[in-house]
Structure 1
């Protein structure tokens, strides 16, 4: 009996030694530690930190060194800026959206310039971008806003004074600082274009630019504030809502899924290191992120899988729809770059001088209303002020004939300057509103348009500001120049504008003409506007002027090359 027993003991020892050798070969830390520095966006960093902890405990060995993963959190935009400047210190980056890399490649010059940027190496999780409302307020939305991008645009459109914005206040994230904000911008722009709602989109973006939250945490916290007459609705990622609700706020937030479909954050992996050993460690950790145990950690944190499937964290009783939401087609890099530029140009500072016709015909009634032309245009112009933030610089001249001494056809009513600046105890914006309300047509006045344009264009050229979109806006009910004293001739004005206009310092003219005589002067008015890269609009109905304000805002996106 002793011989077989001894043999068994010897076999067990041999097997134990073999197992020890195999274990130590795969977990050999004799060479010390190999650091892998991971940087991730704040939303996914806690889950990755947990996965990294489990990974480190398993003693993954590369060239006799045990990999030690650390996960720091940093906003994707900040990491992207550091990467573009060549100052990134991390080895492994988990951003929140591939859209950010597309934007960076486009900014670097497309395929050629973007080739120097590291390639994205797959995704580890997803989270759809959704609308969000406090659970206590969501029931109030059914009659005023259906969950869709088009409805959100309508509610946010500052020019839609009778729309759902009377009952709903839309909050957004800055597309230049937040990937969920960028995804929302792209989703809204794509559906607006498909629905032919481009003008409404411009009005919405102008409104949203003044109601931006710095991050999802601040946005969701603002939704829980007891609403007044308007219900606050935000746009953020589904996972951000889950994370918010885990803190057990007084009023939980529910996700509302746009009916047209949506874009998702896809949490791409980008390996940044060039060190051969660290590259091996990065590849090994990337592989570990695909393990079922890692996927479960991510699902438990409110993320979906790369296939869009949800875990138990995103259940209906917690305010979510577990089914995979419909997906919009992802935009290409050029589209991403174009929309980022759109947002940037829409939010450039504004320097605008309005020339308002006060000739005798402005006292005529507008058919179908109880207003005169002057009253109608003043009301619309006052509404138009809402399109511009307080830092915008604006001013107002009136024009007819003999306005400020014989031979002078214009009069400065409010000097150009910041809307928030105080003038005689009131802000410039308040002065403009008051002036518009008090303006009267000059009963015997004609339309000294050409002299006024030349004087105004000369003044704005002299005071041009590089960091703003400089514009001369003209509102007239005539067919162009009608000055019995002669003054500047049509050909002379065009020659002046073509000579004075500088595409490197673009001062554009937007001319809006209304009234039955407007079409007669269409050719000359279009020539005047085009000479400065601008546009002339002929309104068949004075109430169309509101739409033309928005079309004028759209022109800001392409100036000075709108027709190139």
Structure 2
């Protein structure tokens, strides 16, 4: 006997919401209990799938496959591919995952489920580095899509091999200098709008009487902040004479850093302030707050791009390699969907560029974003990223010490007043008078490094 439309697998009416649509039951737990026999549900085509994805969107977790009633009947249990994606790109990744599993895809004879989690790259980095205590609900991803590969430099050297590039990039967004449109007409703003230059901006921002201000998102929490420091380190180079310039720029940025990219673009700024953020963030901000739109500038020296690479995460333990070949095959299927024309259209609609830098058709002078292809700088190596991030940490730590240490006393005893002698004195708890605040800050940064190193350094 033929079943009527809307009836379940046993001929009974499928459970429904008051709206008349089939009911969707999400399973968001990271650690799933033993599976129970489930009643197979009927979904009203693509609309039901879209509704289910939207329901999961609010929780930052996208369970694609069995949770949508697309699990394969019979056979071994499903293969779940856990994906961690940067929150800005996670919705596009989830839709690509839905397309991957839409035909009841099987991998190694098992039904494929893809669980996409919106995760801040800083949190995933801490998890992989072992700096974060894991709880029972924590899921280690098998695929990670951060905003930039620069996060690799924040991993200990012996753990960087855990991240294996697949060669796929989802979308790109160059780092730009954003200036509020309402401030762009002022004299200071016009000077840098004519020929935007990182070097000129940083020199002006680090000057004692700064004619403009620069703001970056927190480099310890955002890829854009890491990229900003990478630009400063690239322009100053390894020349010892320019290290003081990097320190000056970093100090100026530290006092103006924002906790996030979004917060960096909002606020009551009375002085011309250039904010270093991804281009896509400017696009989103201008659409959300058209009354306080920003102008995005690509400085002449070049820039770095947030390229959202797809990285495979190697298992932490040898016992976790049983499904290695199946996970590889599932990752390849997801990559095919991430590079499809559908994903390209979705990322362009969201204000991203294609991986090779081509912009959305909506980019123009009216919206405040140039459609020209960005000139990209050579990306620093992971060890170089680690080095300038350590410099940033030392400068930040030094200012905290200055806030609690009394340096008002002068020695006057004729003791050793060389730099090394002063550092040794600081480690022993002595005080001295510095000639300049910059000297004090640099000295205490060195002292802290020495104290941390003391048990290991003779």
Q: TM-score, normalised by structure 2?
A: 0.69
Question: Could you tell me how far 1:155 is from its partner in structure 2?
Answer: 3.2
1:142 aligns to 2:190 (yes or no): yes
Aligned partner of 1:525 in structure 2 is none
Q: 2:72 aligns with which of 15, 29, 33?
A: 29
| Distance change in 2, residues 1:205/1:306 (3 Å) | same
Question: Could you tell me how far 1:173 is from its partner in structure 2?
Answer: 1.0
What is the distance in 1 between the residues matched to 2:400 and 2:380? 33
Instruction: Give the number of the structure whose alpha-carbon radius of gyration is greater.
Output: 1
Question: Could you tell me how far 1:281 is from its partner in structure 2?
Answer: 1.4
| Distance change in 2, residues 1:299/1:499 (3 Å) | closer
User: After the TM superposition, which residues 78-477 of structure 1 pair with which residues of structure 2 at under 5 Å, given as runs?
Assistant: 78-85=123-130, 87=134, 88-104=139-155, 108-109=156-157, 113-114=158-159, 116-122=161-167, 123-140=169-186, 141-143=189-191, 147-157=196-206, 160-164=207-211, 168-193=212-237, 197-222=242-267, 225=268, 227-228=269-270, 230-272=271-313, 274=321, 275-276=323-324, 277-350=326-399, 391-397=403-409, 452-454=411-413
Unaligned runs of 5+ in 2: 1-69, 316-320, 451-457
> Deviation string for 1:114-148 (max 9, x for gaps)?
46523222232221111112222223211367532
Q: Is the 8 A contact 2:303 2:376 kept in 1?
A: yes
Question: Could you tell me how far 1:189 is from its partner in structure 2?
Answer: 2.2
Q: Is the 8 A contact 1:351 1:394 kept in 2?
A: no
Q: Which protein has greater RCO, CA pairs closer than 8 Å, 6+ apart? A: 2
| Distance change in 2, residues 1:341/1:507 (3 Å) | farther
Q: Is the 8 A contact 1:155 1:170 kept in 2?
A: no
Question: Could you tell me how far 1:344 is from its partner in structure 2?
Answer: 0.3
What is the distance in 2 between the residues matched to 1:340 and 1:315? 35
Unaligned runs of 5+ in 1: 1-26, 353-387, 399-451, 455-489, 513-544
1:38 aligns to 2:83 (yes or no): yes
> Deviation string for 1:316-364 (max 9, x for gaps)?
4321121211111211122111101100000114488xxxxxxxxxxxx
Question: Could you tell me how far 1:83 is from its partner in structure 2?
Answer: 1.4
Q: Is the 8 A contact 1:350 1:392 kept in 2?
A: no
SS in 1 for 2:291: coil
| Distance change in 2, residues 1:393/1:284 (3 Å) | same
Question: Could you tell me how far 1:553 is from its partner in structure 2?
Answer: 4.3
> Deviation string for 1:153-200 (max 9, x for gaps)?
12331xx22342xxx232211111111101011102221348965434
What is the distance in 2 between the residues matched to 1:496 and 1:136? 51
What is the distance in 1 between the residues matched to 2:233 and 2:420? 35
What is the distance in 2 between the residues matched to 1:79 and 1:98? 13
Aligned partner of 1:405 in structure 2 is none
What is the distance in 1 between the residues matched to 2:342 and 2:409? 69
Q: Is the 8 A contact 2:406 2:431 kept in 1?
A: no
Q: Is the 8 A contact 1:150 1:191 kept in 2?
A: yes
SS in 2 for 1:306: coil
SS in 2 for 1:347: helix
Q: Is the 8 A contact 2:86 2:121 kept in 1?
A: yes
Q: Is the 8 A contact 1:202 1:553 kept in 2?
A: no
Q: Is the 8 A contact 1:342 1:557 kept in 2?
A: no
Whichever structure has more strand as a proportion of its residues is 1
| Distance change in 2, residues 1:265/1:351 (3 Å) | closer
| Distance change in 2, residues 1:494/1:35 (3 Å) | closer
Question: Could you tell me how far 1:102 is from its partner in structure 2?
Answer: 2.8
Q: Is the 8 A contact 2:398 2:441 kept in 1?
A: no
Aligned partner of 1:361 in structure 2 is none
Q: Aligned Cα RMSD in Å?
A: 3.5
SS in 2 for 1:142: helix
What is the distance in 2 between the residues matched to 1:206 and 1:497? 21
Aligned length: 361
1:68 aligns to 2:113 (yes or no): yes
Q: Is the 8 A contact 1:299 1:310 kept in 2?
A: yes
SS in 2 for 1:213: coil
Q: Is the 8 A contact 2:153 2:384 kept in 1?
A: no
What is the distance in 2 between the residues matched to 1:33 and 1:40? 22
SS in 2 for 1:212: coil
| Distance change in 2, residues 1:268/1:311 (3 Å) | same
What is the distance in 2 between the residues matched to 1:346 and 1:56? 48
